[in-house]
Structure 1
Amino acid sequence: MQLLKPENRKNSPLPLLVVGTFGLHLFTLLLLIFNGSMLQQLSRQLIPQSLVQLVDGRTITVDPQPNLERQPEAIRRFVGETMSLMLTWSQQQPPTQVWEITSQLVADDFKQKLKSEITNLSPDSQFENVNRGAENVLVIEKISQPTEIDNGKWKVEMFANQLVFSSYDKLGKSVSFNKQILVKAIEQPATSLPNAALPLHFAAYRLGEARLEIYKICEIEDQNCSVNPNKALP
């Protein structure tokens, strides 16, 4: 019986079991590392970087931004070009046509009020019928850096003058247009192109790609312009 004990130890499956268990744990660890690497690559594919071409011809990749984020310069450009389009008209480009196209860049619940303010901006000008030689041009002097007032909402201050010319007043006159302009981010562009698109349609459509819209305009000295009337007072 004692002579058989060494042979029993030599044929014992315990060492093989230990080695097999260690190998299985090592394989499991490597599999987890591999799965983690694959998940990381998949997340990059689901949220890819965007390729951006700079004005000097160089290309860079940028991380995607949340839907409600906008660059300050994009906001300033949207406000300046939108207001310039909206407040510049002539007999060849009548204000009714300009308003019909550019009002797509204005929030629905603010359109009627803004149209009334534009109509009354210059009592001498005829909004519905433009006389021969009449022309209105918005000249912007300054647009401030945007101030974030809420998530996806900003305020800019614009200092401008609307120049009003007529057939009997070639020198024209200047009407001050110093305003606080509130804009907000939207999910989808609000502009669209008709079948027979005019250059103004393309200009408004290009601005609409910023997915912004004007939802309020106040006088420059209004201290409560950005106050939310629906927010309860403390």
Structure 2
Amino acid sequence: MVRLLEKRQRTTASVLTVFAIATFSLHILVLFLFLLQGLNIRQLSLTKPPNFVQLIDGKPVGNIDDLAREPEAIRQFISKTMISMFSWSGTLPAQNIEEVATPKPDLGVLIQTPQGGSQKVSTSSWIASFALSEDFRKGFLSTVAEMTPTEVFSENPSLMMTSQLVIKRVYPPRQIAPGKWRVGMVADLIQKNRVGGARLITPFNKDLLVRAADYFGNPQGDNGTDLQKAIYSVRADRLEIYEIRNLCLLDGNNNLNNDKFTQCGAGQTSDSFTR
């Protein structure tokens, strides 16, 4: 009888031991699966979104290479960005029918200048500057602030000035590296007094270096402010300008139907693009 009880106890102990080992192994397996899943989720969160669709004139264009961009999309990006950057009206873009008849005044955005002071740029210039690379944007805005007349923000109608960038031509992009292009632009910067109509026309021929960029959608979606939506729409082109240089036309700008242009001066950089 005693032997039978001892045998049953050993059998029960063996079963409990096997059960404990199996349970422990199962916990280890579950922990390993959790770790593996966590690593997969982290890897997915760090992966940049693929460029499945590219829009040209509102029409989708298939794109397999994430660094590839259609030439016309690059040209439209350049035109849209530079016009927004250098067209100053002294008023904000209308957001509704009422603002079309009575536009709100543009109070401007204060920008620190290299001299240590601060000057204003138009709101449209500030928003368009998000189409620039982050390392280039700050210095570029300082230069734009120095170019922007204070009369743009004047409340006196007799003193107010406007500025408009009139683009004559944007040359076909030339690829200089995977995902990087060089684009020439021929334009005039026209500054005009609202009263009297006196105009100052300045040639604005630039050589722009553009590259493909990542884009992450607005996390707030339709709940974001108009300003936030505008900034995210600027980045939606998946392109950014990372340098601007002066552009020299080899034919003296007498013929806009050829591609004869070069960079002005070997020593000039983006800091001297307005000269």
Could you state the TM-score of these two structures normalised by the residue count of structure 2? 0.53
Mapped pair 1:177 → 2:204: yes
Contact kept, 8 Å, 1:180 with 1:220, in 2: the verdict is yes
Mapped pair 1:104 → 2:130: yes
Cα deviation code 1:175-223 (max 9, x no counterpart): 211100111101225888773305xx65654442220011100001335
Give the one of 246, 256, 260 matched to 1:219. 246
Give distance in 2, aligned partners of 1:97 and 1:52.
27
| 5+ long unaligned stretches in structure 1 | 1-49, 228-234
Name the SS of the counterpart of 1:68 in structure 2. coil
Determine the structure 1 residue equivalent to 2:184: 157
RMSD over aligned Cα, in angstroms? 3.7
1:175–1:151 distance in 2 versus 1, CA, 3 Å: same
Name the SS of the counterpart of 1:100 in structure 2. helix
Task: Report how far residue 139 of structure 1 moved.
Answer: 0.5
Contact kept, 8 Å, 1:67 with 1:187, in 2: the verdict is no
Name the SS of the counterpart of 2:211 in structure 1. strand
Task: Report how far residue 129 of structure 1 moved.
Answer: 3.5
Task: Report how far residue 172 of structure 1 moved.
Answer: 1.6
Give the stretch that moved more between structures: 100-109 or 177-186.
Answer: 100-109
Contact kept, 8 Å, 1:149 with 1:226, in 2: the verdict is no
Determine the structure 2 residue equivalent to 1:144: 171
Amino acid at match of 1:118: V
Task: Report how far residue 167 of structure 1 moved.
Answer: 3.4
Contact kept, 8 Å, 1:90 with 1:130, in 2: the verdict is no
Determine the structure 1 residue equivalent to 2:69: 70
Give the one of 145, 150, 161 matched to 1:126. 150
Name the SS of the counterpart of 1:90 in structure 2. coil
Cα deviation code 1:111-134 (max 9, x no counterpart): 122123323336xx2288345332
1:126–1:78 distance in 2 versus 1, CA, 3 Å: same
Amino acid at match of 1:185: A
Query: Aligned pair count?
Result: 173
Structure showing greater relative contact order (alpha-carbon pairs closer than 8 Å, 6 or more residues apart) = 1
Q: How does 1:1-234 map to 2 (within 5 A)?
A: 62=62, 64-93=63-92, 94=106, 95-121=121-147, 125-126=149-150, 129-130=153-154, 132=157, 133-189=160-216, 195-197=224-226, 205-221=232-248, 222=264, 224=266
| 5+ long unaligned stretches in structure 2 | 1-51, 93-105, 107-120, 249-263, 270-275
